[in-house]
Amino acid sequence: MTRTAKHCIEDLLYIVQNIHPNANGCQIWTGTINDYGFAYYYMHQKSHLVHRLIFEHFYPEKAKNSNVIHLCKVKNCCNIQHMKQRSYDCGPKLSKEKATEIRSLYPSMSVNQLAMQYDVSTTTINLILKGKIWKT
Point out which residues bind Zn ion (CB under 5 A): 26, 72, 74, 77, 79, 82
d(CA 34, CA 66): 20
User: What sign does the dihedral 30-35-36-40 (CA atoms) show?
Assistant: negative
Closest CA to 27 of 56, 66, 70: 70
Q: Least distance (Å) from Zn ion to the CB of residue 67?
A: 16
3-state secondary structure at position 129? helix
d(CA 48, CA 12): 13
Q: Least distance (Å) from Zn ion to the CB of residue 63?
A: 18
Q: Least distance (Å) from Zn ion to the CB of residue 9?
A: 26
In this complex, which beta carbon is closest to Zn ion, that of residue 68 or of residue 77? 77
In this complex, which beta carbon is closest to Zn ion, that of residue 78 or of residue 125? 78
Strand 27-29 to 19-21 pairing? antiparallel
Closest CA to 7 of 41, 39, 43: 43
In this complex, which beta carbon is closest to Zn ion, that of residue 74 or of residue 128? 74
Q: Least distance (Å) from Zn ion to the CB of residue 13?
A: 22
In this complex, which beta carbon is closest to Zn ion, that of residue 26 or of residue 125? 26
Q: In the 8-state DSSP scheme, what is residue 60? A: H
